[in-house]
Amino acid sequence: MGNLCFSRDLIGLEDEKMASNWKRIMWRFMECATTPLIADFFPVLDGLGLDFQGKKKEAGKCMKKMFEMWGELIRQRREEGENKNYGDFLDFMRKNGLLDVQILYMLLEILPAGSGTLISTIEWAMAELIKNKDSMKKLQKELQDHDILNSNSITESQISQLPFLNACIKETLRLHPPIAFLPHRAQSTCEVMSYTIPKNSLVFVNLWAIGHDPNIWEDPLLFRPERFLTSRLDFKGQDYEFLPFGGGRRMCPGLPFANKEVHLILAALVGCFDWSLPDDGVGFELDMNEKYAVPLQKEKPLLIVPP
């Protein structure tokens, strides 16, 4: 995402201080911005303007720090003038006449959500493949059959030729949707299943529960990508039993980009390295517990090593 927006890696090794600050601020902002607030469930409190949990204030501080970080990158780009053409999103916004403040808010919409969900999905996919060695071997064989293991690279055009890779990603999103509870607001008073939903009420679609429902999925707790090899289910918002990116007009606008990136990154990780737990798992236990956040995170970060 950093390369897409700024033509530089925000979490790379070139500037470890920036990478550390960016990750810490981004995750803290996402945590504050997505923590359920008391006023969300008792609207009468919202009119009082009180921040009972202090999350709005803390999110504001994180946002200010991100704006300062991005503002410096924007300033550097403006000082360069038109001498360099990076062809990135920042160039596009500048050439279309957006003010700095408009650029900052556009970046706020893209970077935290886009980076966090991508990282989380890759981590969960790798954790499930490490835990389920048969699935890992099947994916490696598929990549080998398409000469990806030997070439150490994968192109966008090859994604459609890798059905098991696609199935692994879908199965990861079923078990570990980036957003466990999809929030919406009722535009008018309506009745759903004998419940009256007042206008402006928050309505949460429990994507996590849908993905684990035994009435919909056979053996829902098992990581079994094969279920998607014979299924037409897709995550474009048309199949209500599988909505990791939402649906309708409010579905995730970054779906096309995220879908390609997850496929390319996971294929590169599995195709170029033979991963395992440290010391071949001796003394290490793969913890698959979840931590509620947006995106849905592992309670303990995944620690794996190449040979």
Tokens 């003010």 belong to which residue? Answer: 99
Strand, helix or coil for residue 205: strand
Cβ proximity of 226 and 167 under 8 Å: yes
Cβ proximity of 137 and 274 under 8 Å: no
Check residue 53 and report its DSSP letter: T
Shortest CA distance to 187 belongs to which of 248, 105, 113? Answer: 248
Shortest CA distance to 58 belongs to which of 88, 27, 83, 87? Answer: 27
Can you read off the two tokens belonging to residue 283? 């003394």
Q: Is 252 annotated as a binding residue?
A: yes
Check residue 150 and report its DSSP letter: H
Q: Is the backbone of residue 246 left (phi > 0), alpha (psi -120 to 50) or beta?
A: left
Shortest CA distance to 28 belongs to which of 10, 54, 1? Answer: 54
Going by DSSP bridges, is the β-strand pair 195-197/202-206 parallel, antiparallel, or unpaired? unpaired
Secondary structure percentages of the chain, helix, strand, coil, to 5: 55, 5, 40
Taking each helix axis as running N to C, give the angle between helix 163-175 and helix 100-131, from 0 to 180 degrees, rounded to the nearest 10. Answer: 100
Q: What is the largest CA-CA distance in the chain?
A: 64
Q: Where are the alpha helices (DSSP H) in 48-176?
A: 55-80, 89-95, 100-131, 133-145, 148-151, 163-175
Residue ranges at the known binding site for heme: 252
Residue ranges at the known binding site: 252
